[in-house]
Structure formats: structure tokens, C-alpha cells
Structure 1
Amino acid sequence: MGTVVDAQNMKYGRKVIVVFVLGGPGSGKGTQCANIVQHFGYTHLSAGDLLRAEIKSGSENGTMIQSMIKEGKIVPSEITVKLLQQAMQESGNDKFLIDGFPRNEENRETFESVTGIAPEFVLFFDCPEEEMEKRLLSRKQGREDDNMETIRKRFKVYMESSLPVVEYYSSKGNVRKIDAVKQVDAVFEDVKAIFNSTIEKVAPYEDFPTSLNTKMP
């Protein structure tokens, strides 16, 4: 099981629990994260949602992010980590699901080195590419990156960059794999079993301070 290093406790004045949620685009991560939030009290942080919010803000970073997403590229680690840190600071919670991040080894190294946090575990939604493509093309959420060309670019990036992150944590025995092809309710039953068996080994949430007195850098 992953741990939070001593430097993390010193920096934030409390223990912070992070679960990385990984899987290909369309594997159902967002839906299951909403269920986890409701049942286990985590704050859900989607790297993709944070990046899209930055785009909508019209900032210089947002313009650059928009161009990279259109090309199916991965946004620089420092930008994404900064957005995640800000969201964690503002949440007031101590337990976080970080969805769709880290997307590559550089993301992982940057997050762990900057924040001092190692994940309790990685929740990996395993889903075939054909199923993910079908879901993305049918969800009709109005996202400009939900078109065939960009979807296939995203799959390529996922296979080349994100799977090595899963393999890294798997080598440490820190991955909990989910069969994401099942129906939503059945998938969540598997998710609940993982959280019930793993999180109960962590000190109770009530034992940690609930306020964040030290701002993140």
C-alpha cells in the first residue's frame, strides 16, 4: 500500500490520502468516481476537467492547453500539478480521487516530487479500445475532443504513455484492477469491495485534522 511521506505531513500539517484513478478515455472513470465520492467521502479531482476549466477561463495557459488537447498531446506536468494542488487546497478535504492523472511517467514523478504524496493505491479501469471508442462516440457531451480522429490520437497517447504508469505501480503491488466492461452497477460493486478492503487499513479519516493551515506552494 502506498504511503504519504513524512515531508508531506510536515508540509500540510495532516495526512493526505490520494487514490489515482486510471484507465483509457471512455473506460467509465468519471461515473465511478462520482459513486465513490457519494459512498466514501472523497473529493473527486479530474485532471481533464481542471484543464478544460482553465481553457474556459481564457488565460494564456488555457489557450496553450486548448491547442495541445486538440492535437491529442499531453499538457506539461507542471501546469497540471499546479491546478491539482490548487484544487486540493481549496477543497478542505483530506481524501482525493485524482482522475486521469498521472498520464505518463513525467506526470507521476512531478506529482510525487512536488507534493511529497505517493498514492494509497491506483484504481485501474481495464477496458478494450473498441468498447471505449463506442462509448465516446455515443455520449454526446459536446466535447470537441469527442471525434474519431482525436479519439484515436488519445488512444495512442494512452497506450504509449499511460500504461507504463500502471505497470510502474503494478510492479509495486499498488494497482487494483477493475473489469470496466461490466454494467455500471456491477463495476461499482467491484470498486466498493476494493475500497472496503483497502481503506479500512488506513487510520480513520476523523483522526486527521480537517483544515489545511499551510498553503500549497
Structure 2
Amino acid sequence: MWRRVVSLYPLLSPSKSSVLHRAKSGIASNEKTPFIVFVLGGPGSGKGTQCAKIVETFGFRHLSAGDLLRKEISSNNENGVMILDTIKEGKIVPSEVTVKLIQKEIESSDNYKFLIDGFPRSEENRIAFEKILGVEPNIVLFYDCPEDEMVRRVLSRNEGRVDDNVDTIKKRLKVFAALNLPVIKHYTVRGKVCKINAVGAVDEVFEQVRPIFTLMVK
């Protein structure tokens, strides 16, 4: 399967250094090269919902940067307190912290297909990920959604999260525009971005995604 994907999509294949790093660090317990998809978009763009459908349909392991950070917060250790304070201020958690949480999940998984949801959120995040794990994403899904729609969705979901309030969501949107869009531009130049119109019903949005994975994941 993997060889077929590489031959069809040379721009999406991992570098030689990535393969060497994987062999040294044991990121995957099997012989398949990890297939990594970054899932990006503003808060409320529907990334989590779409990831659930991709997991159900194509068998990926879903790693939500936000969920991993909230799990660490719930541990009530020093690292968790720092993460909570950072999120409340609408700022980005230090790259190394988030990357190591993601790395831990990848290294312990029997799967080789990963959706990394909501990360990287800045160029610093991106560089840290590629440096620490030694790999680049194969695909970057960018869920493009108008700001007013994202605000409406976040305020209506009422999940009790500390970052689901008007002041914090506006801070997060400003951070996204300033820091995340350069990441998307970087991967656009490298031919890895698939832009998805995130406005519409869940199934309608997913129909834009389905052909991408149907073609690439056999």
C-alpha cells in the first residue's frame, strides 16, 4: 500500500532523514512508514468532528493537540498548571511540551496512520515537530471557515471548556490568524495543503474530504 502511495505522490513521501530518524527512535513498531496528516483550521471550524469521520471511514488514529493538553491539565502537575495559564491567556503552549505529548502517543501506537488535530499552530510549532520527530506531514487538511461562523459554533457547543468564552475565543482567533496561517502558507508552497470549505452540514463537508483519502489510503 505504502509503495503505491509514494509512487503516485512523490511530493508527499517522507525524506530520507525522516526514515532514518524513525528507525533510530522506533516511532512505529511495524515496518510501515508513518502516514501523518495535519488537520488545521480555526477554533470552531469543525476539525474534531471531521476527524471522527475520517477515523471511522479510513482507520486513522486521531491525536488532538487540544485533548492531549487538557489531559495534561487534569493531571494537576506543574506542567498542567503552566498549560492552563497559557490557554487562559489565549497564548500558544511551548512547542516542545506539545510535541513531546504527541510523540509519546505516536510511539506507543500500533497504528501507522495519524491525524494530528490542531497542531502545529505556529512556525515554531512546525519546526519543533519536524526537528523532534524527524518527519513532515504527508497531507495538511485546512478547514477554511469564516470568523463569525467559528465564533457562533464555539459559543453554542457549551462543553464547559475554560477556553469557550467570548473573550478567549476572540484572542484565539487573533492568534490563529497571526501564527497559524504562515504554517498553512509554508505547506501550500510544498504542495501538501488540501483546502476544505468548512461551511455546511457535517456530511457535506466530509464529501470534500472523502476523495482525498479514498485515493491515497488503500
TM-score when normalising by structure 2: 0.89
Q: In structure 1, what is the equivalent of residue 20 of structure 2?
A: 10
1:170-211 Cα shifts (integer Å, max 9, x gaps):
1122100000001100111111011123x14xxx6xxxxxxx
After TM superposition, give the deviation of residue 57 of structure 1 in Å: 0.6
Q: In structure 1, what is the equivalent of residue 97 of structure 2?
A: 79
Q: In structure 1, what is the equivalent of residue 203 of structure 2?
A: 185
Moved over 6 A (4+): none
User: Residues of 1 paired with 2:119 and 2:173: CA distance?
Assistant: 15
Q: Contact 2:22 / 2:134 at 8 angstroms: preserved in 1?
A: no
Instruction: Within 5 Å, give how 1:88-107 maps onto structure 2.
Output: 88-107=106-125
Instruction: Within 5 Å, give how 1:18-57 maps onto structure 2.
Output: 18-57=36-75
1:140-185 Cα shifts (integer Å, max 9, x gaps):
1110110000000000000000011001111122100000001100
**Structure 2: 5+ residue stretches without partners:** 1-10, 24-30
AA at the equivalent of 2:17: A
After TM superposition, give the deviation of residue 62 of structure 1 in Å: 0.5
**Structure 1: 5+ residue stretches without partners:** 205-217
AA at the equivalent of 1:136: V
2:176 to 131, 155, 158: 158
Q: Contact 1:73 / 1:157 at 8 angstroms: preserved in 2?
A: yes
AA at the equivalent of 2:88: K
AA at the equivalent of 1:96: F
Q: Contact 1:126 / 1:179 at 8 angstroms: preserved in 2?
A: yes
Q: In structure 2, what is the equivalent of residue 60 of structure 1?
A: 78
Q: Contact 1:19 / 1:122 at 8 angstroms: preserved in 2?
A: yes
Classify the secondary structure of the residue corresponding to 1:44.
strand
AA at the equivalent of 1:44: H
User: Residues of 2 paired with 1:28 and 1:113: CA distance?
Assistant: 28
Count of residue correspondences: 200
Q: Contact 1:8 / 1:116 at 8 angstroms: preserved in 2?
A: yes
Classify the secondary structure of the residue corresponding to 2:39.
strand
1:167 to 185, 200, 204: 185
Q: Contact 1:72 / 1:150 at 8 angstroms: preserved in 2?
A: yes
TM-score when normalising by structure 1: 0.89
User: Residues of 1 paired with 2:92 and 2:195: CA distance?
Assistant: 24
Name the Cα RMSD after superposition: 1.1
After TM superposition, give the deviation of residue 2 of structure 1 in Å: 2.4
